[in-house]
Amino acid sequence: MSEKRKDHKGRILRTGESQRKNLLYQYRYTDNRGIRQTIYSSDLQDLRKSEKEIQKTLYDGIDYAAGDASQRILWFDKA
């Protein structure tokens, strides 16, 4: 079994999280358009708050990077 990734303080990092050599934390994800995005923070807790907001917007289908806050709506037939 592989080792879990940890930061310099020994905290276990989640999927998409990593710590750079300059001790900044980064979170990498793929947006709704399929483009890799990265956010940075000097504090792991702040990064995780931002990560939670990003996951919510991705789940809701909101694409802020497209230039407006348009939401993708999927229509389903009940038949």
Whether residue 72 is predicted with pLDDT greater than 60 in this model: the reply is: no
Within 31-73, strands assigned E span 36-41
Q: Per the confidence metrics, is the pTM higher than 0.75?
A: no
| Tokens describing residue 36 | 């890799």
Q: Which pLDDT tens digit goes with each residue over 16-25?
A: 999 999 999 9
Whether residue 64 is predicted with pLDDT greater than 90 in this model: the reply is: no
Domain 1-79 has CATH 1.20.1250.20: no
Of 68, 65, 74, 19, nearest to 44 by C-alpha is 19
| Tokens describing residue 62 | 């909101």
Dist CA 32 CA 77 (whole Å): 23
Q: Which pLDDT tens digit goes with each residue over 7-57?
A: 999 999 999 999 999 999 999 999 888 889 999 999 999 999 999 999 998
Q: Hey, what's the torsion of the CAs at 29, 32, 34, 40, to 10 degrees? A: -30
